[in-house]
Structure 1
Amino acid sequence: MTVPIAIIGTGIAGLSAARALKDAGHVVQLFDKSHGSGGRMSSKRSEAGALDLGAQYFTARDRRFVNEVQRWQANGWAAEWEPQLYNFQSGQLSPSPDEQTRWVGTPRMSAITRALLDDLPVEFGCRITEVFQGQQHWNLLDADGNNHGPFSHVIIATPAHQATALLAAAPKLASTAAGVKMDPTWAIALAFDTPLDTPMEGCFVQNSPLDWLARNRSKPGRDATPDTWILHATSAWSKQHLDLPKDAIIELLHGAFAELLHCSMPAPVFSLAHRWLYARPASGHEWGVLADADLGLYACGDWCLSGRVEGAWLSGQEAARRLVEHLR
């Protein structure tokens, strides 16, 4: 009997590792505490359509990831996004000279992770709380007290804070993960019946509670109505207002948006707030993956590299590569 490899987390890092392992002929079993794949690349369905509340777009610089994104594009899971970009600085809006190629999932960000998941076996709504060694193999305990296993190896593909607790069997790795600082982000969606009178489709914001905003319908494959906007607050502002009620967050960021556009903004017909506690690592690292090959325990994620979607995918690849190499 083949003992499968457990992968905890179905964000881009976990799915990248899972696909690479399956392609190398290994059996995997995935677990995720959410009810769908994607992690911070997930999209939320709402009465205003699908909303990308987490990752807004991604870039590709590393040749391996460029090839992967081209594969996604060929399959119709991703497309290039060419928004009219602006900068907002010292109270002034100006067109952004940024020429960077940006990609998004189509028709929503989560299309990519859904396609990568495909037919892989996964247990959703299953929060793993402990990774422990049995006689020869690994077992997982979930929040409901259920035991899962046996597994030959375990790959932990969660934010660093959550990975720390799951790495208890490898104290050295756990202490490295514990040292990673992840910043929070408040994200809100606002929808307007009458489209806002602005050519702006994306904006990098400075000296404001806001950090970024995007017009949803400017992304390929999105619904044109209503006119929906996604706003991300800065990490510093999010930290200061971490425990404010969602209604208050929406009101404050709606106000910051109106200030930026210098206009009396209509009341939104729909609004929604989401708090990402572990939105992004505060700084980049060069580990690629945390690994104890003899134990058979690995941790990967954007926090092991650049903090970007590309970093998450590369980290998952590296975890799979190291694991396969160790088995040879």
Structure 2
Amino acid sequence: MTVDVTVVGGGISGLACARAVRDAGGSVRVIDRGRRPGGRLSSRTIDGRAVDLGASYFVVGDDERFARVAADWEARGVARGWTDTFSAIDADGSVTRKTGPLRWAALGGSRALVLDLADGADVESGREVAHAAPFRVDGVDAGEVVLAMPEPQARRLTDGIPVAPQEWEPVIAVVLRWDKRRWPADLHGAFVNGDPEVAFLADDGDRRGDDAPVLVVHTTGAAARRYLDDPDAAIPPVATATRRLLGIDVEPVSAVAHRWTFARPTRTTGEPFFRSPGLSLCGDAWGESAAVRTAWSSGDALGRALAAS
């Protein structure tokens, strides 16, 4: 039976879209190529615990609908306010603490946010879609089709979409585990200035609340481009840079690298989503700034628009 909406892409934007359609009484199916939904809110089990590899945190911002979702996550123990203080680390290792908006994290790993949105939804995981067209997916009637993914990936699935090409920056996420925490307890997360390898690092044990001695380090875009064909090659230079920046005098006991070919858009469209009859797009490039809340808001707004029609 044909559903009202078929969403291709099981990240937070796609599941927010699906939830909005369902809440309005419509029928919706989500198709995702991963083993479980998550997209760039991905957590991977490493050394027996879930480690956040993608988006490092989320900020609620001034979207009242997303604020209600975050409050519900907090009330049910899915997410919590993490910290309003990050560090800025210069290439010479000097550190400045800076306060800002409250950053939120998921206690069970960031994938838990998407799995919560997916609860009760019709989700087909592990399926690679070959072709999408208005009202059809892989040649089968699909209702309104939503491509909830970066535009370069969406373009590969269609015969042409009337939107301007978008540029995306890659990132290699490197997970470094030590035998014990060897950095200041108030580090939380840090933006790195002027280093050729490292752009951001997060204390994953602090973020998750279990005090595991694990850092997740994101490379610069330039470094990621060098290592895209061999992500593991990023581990030695990233580990060396991290030790230098934080003054750590021992090697990590384990390290894992993960490639994000389309980690974040270099600029956003300013529009909440793209919609045309039978084929629409949503995601974190469709908004004012690339962020988790933008991805959710884009999917939610598109889902409500489709349901209203």
Same fold (TM over 0.5): yes
Structure 1 counterpart of 2:214: 228
* Counterparts of 1:197 and 1:63, CA distance in 2: 37
Q: Does 1:213 align with 2:204?
A: no
Number of equivalences: 305
Amino acid in structure 1 at the alignment position of 2:145: V
Q: Does 1:99 align with 2:82?
A: no
Q: Deviations over 1:253-274 (max 9, x none)?
A: 001101102342x222221000
- Closer, same or farther: CA 254–220 of 1 in aligned 2, 3 Å: closer
Q: Does 1:302 align with 2:284?
A: yes
Structure 1: tracts of 5 or more residues without a match = 142-146
Q: Deviations over 1:52-96 (max 9, x none)?
A: 010010111122222221122122211110275311124143232
Q: Does 1:24 align with 2:24?
A: yes
Residue 291 of structure 1, CA deviation: 0.7
- Closer, same or farther: CA 2–162 of 1 in aligned 2, 3 Å: closer
Q: Secondary structure at the match of 1:303?
A: coil
Q: Secondary structure at the match of 2:163?
A: helix
Structure 1 counterpart of 2:7: 7
Residue 321 of structure 1, CA deviation: 2.2
* Counterparts of 2:87 and 2:150, CA distance in 1: 31
Residue 313 of structure 1, CA deviation: 0.6
Give the TM-score normalised by the residue count of structure 2: 0.93
Q: Does 1:277 align with 2:268?
A: no
Q: Deviations over 1:264-321 (max 9, x none)?
A: 2x222221000100000011221211111xx221110111122211110111012112
Deviates more, 1:56-65 or 1:204-213: 56-65
Does the aligned pair in 2 maintain the 1:86–1:93 contact within 8 Å? no
Q: Does 1:268 align with 2:259?
A: no
Amino acid in structure 1 at the alignment position of 2:92: G
**Greater gyration radius:** 1
Residue 205 of structure 1, CA deviation: 0.4
Structure 2 counterpart of 1:112: 113
* Counterparts of 2:122 and 2:22, CA distance in 1: 11
Residue 197 of structure 1, CA deviation: 4.0
Residue 204 of structure 1, CA deviation: 0.8
Amino acid in structure 2 at the alignment position of 1:102: R
* Counterparts of 2:84 and 2:40, CA distance in 1: 21
* Counterparts of 1:76 and 1:128, CA distance in 2: 34
Residue 132 of structure 1, CA deviation: 3.5
Does the aligned pair in 2 maintain the 1:83–1:201 contact within 8 Å? no
Percentage identity across paired residues of the two chains: 31
Structure 1 counterpart of 2:233: 248
User: Alignment RMSD, CA only?
Assistant: 1.8
Q: How does 1:25-174 map to 2 (within 5 A)?
A: 25-61=25-61, 62-82=63-83, 85-132=86-133, 138-141=135-138, 149-168=140-159, 171=160, 174=161
Give the TM-score normalised by the residue count of structure 1: 0.88
Amino acid in structure 1 at the alignment position of 2:49: G
Structure 1 counterpart of 2:225: 239
- Closer, same or farther: CA 259–7 of 1 in aligned 2, 3 Å: same
Residue 175 of structure 1, CA deviation: 4.3
Structure 2 counterpart of 1:144: none
Structure 2: tracts of 5 or more residues without a match = none
